[in-house]
Structure 1
Amino acid sequence: MSALPPSGGGLPRTLLRLHRPALLTWTVFVAGMSGWLVWLTEVTAKDPARQGLPCLTCTTTEVTYSLEMMWAGYLIGYAFVAVAAFAGGALIGRELESGTARLAWTQGIAPGRWLTAKLTLPALAITTGGTALVLVYRWAFAAQPDLVRQDWTDAVAFMARGPLLVAYALCALAVGTLTALLLRRTLAALGTAAGVMWLSNAVLTYYRWRLWPALTRTGPRAFDLPDHVWLVNEGENAHGRFATYQPPSHYWPLHLTETAIVLTVAALATLLSFRLLKHRTESPA
């Protein structure tokens, strides 16, 4: 593989050509998932009962729609794992392992500028495509509320209906980059970055309900809670029954708090990547 050209306009063009397959794959993924959600909402969900006609397959329609919505949500929600693998492997790790990056640095491209160019295009693509997926998923999720079996507390629905989806993808890009700079081996960085992001998401999902103060209700006897609450704890104590829960109105405080945490991790990983690259490439005094 040839080194990157030192000219100002050549670097972005070369990076675009170099990672064109990944950008095309991401574009196809965004378009395909958006089309699938539109099809589910406008075709699969249109059963005869909604038109006042005899319905012999309403149960089948409901199950099919709910199941496919769940799988679409999983593919959209956990796409950040693939982003982490791409960043650790193809984007950074492969060029460090093959020596292409160092060759570019010797031809007039500063390491910091090289890394900036490497991250800018994927970040723009992730932000644009991720935002489109969030908007389409939110529309599809709200279009057929009586058919969707997932609640706002579902891990995927919680993530894919707001900016948290984009935040995880940007964090995956940053963590994958940092992992590649640390390990400098394609396969090792690919697997480690994906594993770190998966584990990080699992930890935050487990503690998600703690990110905003929950409500607690007590009473001498059993009581009913409002619909669609996130029940996190219930039982009996010396004062009677109690229940701790997050109401639906806490969705955005919880969502935006986790988004801020994930973006902070992304910023720290990006800063560490630039500092590590500078430390390893600067000439000794």
Structure 2
Amino acid sequence: MTTALTATTAPAERTPGGPRGLLWTVLRVHRTALVFWVLALLGATAVLIWMYAIGDEARNGIVPCATPAGDGHPSCASVEAITVDDVYAGWIALVATALTYAILPVAAWAGGSLIGRELESGTARLAWSQSVTPTRWLAAKLAVPAVLLATGTGGLVLLNNWARGDGDPDLVGDWYNADAFVGTGPTAVGYTLAGLALGALAGLLLRRALAGAGVGFLAALVLCGVLERFREDLWPAVTRRQAGDFELPRSTWPLGWDTTWGPHPGEGEPLSTSATFHPRTHYWPIQYVETGILLAVAAAATLAAFWLLRRRTP
């Protein structure tokens, strides 16, 4: 009877390689990167809250003025005395740049620390020998940072849009500028996920921390350059032609002009003008197409990483 009771009340043993075990192992091994990511998120959040708080004052520094004040316009001297607009524009641009190029350190970390170092040191094989299959090991390695990166980056994008207010291009840049475009939409999340997958694939290919970090960084840099170069071609542009000359609104992305002159080019008014451009309404279609490309790259790199791991392990 005593034996039966003892067997009944004995606590169930946890499987070392269970999902919870893998989750906490990834977080514990890479706790330095986790702390850095949390501090970066907190710092960026504090900056964006500050930018929101001074946003109205910053916008007062770029209003039309008159000397002397009149016709409803403040004096130019009083407007020039407002310097908070420079502070606002500078910090907003810094956050946008950080969101745009977060893919680069993410890819380097994934190739070097997340995958490459563990393969080089033999830590990965030690985990595989403790009832954790290579596939489950890689799935945990990718899933945990993917969730943290997507959540953190997505939250910062929302905060960035909130802090930008009405998006005055004189303060925050035109929507088609590289940093402003990526830092305000889902492409920022797509870039970090693509960087994670490319870095992991580089680490598996090279099985060395330094080489994996370098190749992952290079792959992410090439991806950024290619998409930025061909971004204007991701959605059909609009062409407008009319007699004489005309100007495009500030919110449009001009791609090219074609002017037809009379018998004396450069003299007088042109006969007709043609402009090719992306209107402001093309922001979301281009965002969706670019995000789709990035997610496809992330998915392809992830599948390639699992295929390569299966080829190299029994």
- Structure 1 residues 260, 103: closer, same or farther in 2, change over 3 A? same
2: distance between equivalents of 1:6 and 1:48? 56
Q: Which amino acid aligns with 2:298?
A: A
Q: Which amino acid aligns with 1:189?
A: G
Q: Which runs of 5+ in 1 are unaligned?
A: none
The total of aligned residue pairs comes to: 278
Q: Does 2:289 align with 1:257? A: yes
Q: Does 2:308 align with 1:276? A: yes
What is the Cα deviation at residue 226 of structure 1? 2.8
Asked whether the 8 Å contact 2:59–2:85 carries over to 1, the reply is: no
1: distance between equivalents of 2:80 and 2:123? 58
Q: Does 2:188 align with 1:156? A: no
1: distance between equivalents of 2:32 and 2:96? 24
Q: Deviations over 1:192-219 (max 9, x none)?
A: 1111111111110111011001001112
What is the Cα deviation at residue 27 of structure 1? 1.1
What is the Cα deviation at residue 47 of structure 1? 5.6
Q: Does 2:169 align with 1:137? A: no
* Higher deviation after alignment, 137-146 or 52-61: 52-61
Asked whether the 8 Å contact 1:212–1:254 carries over to 2, the reply is: yes
Say which SS state the counterpart of residue 148 (structure 1) adopts: helix
CA RMSD, Structure 1 to Structure 2 (Å): 2.4
Q: Does 2:97 align with 1:77? A: no
2: distance between equivalents of 1:38 and 1:8? 37
2: distance between equivalents of 1:256 and 1:18? 35
The correspondence of residues 194-209 of structure 1 with structure 2, limited to 5 A, is: 194-209=217-232
Say which SS state the counterpart of residue 46 (structure 1) adopts: helix
1: distance between equivalents of 2:59 and 2:235? 43
TM-score relative to the length of structure 1: 0.90
2:12 corresponds in structure 1 to none
The correspondence of residues 33-112 of structure 1 with structure 2, limited to 5 A, is: 33-43=44-54, 46=57, 55=78, 58-112=81-135
Q: Which amino acid aligns with 2:302?
A: T
The correspondence of residues 146-185 of structure 1 with structure 2, limited to 5 A, is: 148-185=171-208
Q: Deviations over 1:138-157 (max 9, x none)?
A: 11122562751401011111
Higher normalized contact order (CA 8 Å, seq sep 6+, divided by chain length):
1
Asked whether the 8 Å contact 1:33–1:76 carries over to 2, the reply is: no
Q: Deviations over 1:127-147 (max 9, x none)?
A: 110111010011112256275
What is the Cα deviation at residue 189 of structure 1? 0.9
Kindly, what percent of the aligned residue pairs are identical? 41
2:141 corresponds in structure 1 to 118
TM-score relative to the length of structure 2: 0.82
Q: Which amino acid aligns with 1:117?
A: A
Say which SS state the counterpart of residue 180 (structure 2) adopts: helix
Q: Which amino acid aligns with 1:27?
A: V
* Higher deviation after alignment, 4-13 or 184-193: 4-13
2: distance between equivalents of 1:59 and 1:253? 37
2:266 corresponds in structure 1 to none
* Higher deviation after alignment, 52-61 or 22-31: 52-61
Q: Which amino acid aligns with 1:253?
A: P
Asked whether the 8 Å contact 2:150–2:189 carries over to 1, the reply is: yes
- Structure 1 residues 104, 256: closer, same or farther in 2, change over 3 A? same
Q: Which runs of 5+ in 2 are unaligned?
A: 1-14, 62-73, 262-270
1: distance between equivalents of 2:172 and 2:197? 34
2: distance between equivalents of 1:119 and 1:236? 53
Q: Deviations over 1:36-58 (max 9, x none)?
A: 011122137536958x9994754
- When Rg is computed on C-alpha atoms for both structures, the one with the higher figure is 2
Asked whether the 8 Å contact 2:108–2:199 carries over to 1, the reply is: yes
Q: Which amino acid aligns with 1:32?
A: G
2: distance between equivalents of 1:37 and 1:147? 18
What is the Cα deviation at residue 230 of structure 1? 0.2
- Structure 1 residues 249, 272: closer, same or farther in 2, change over 3 A? same
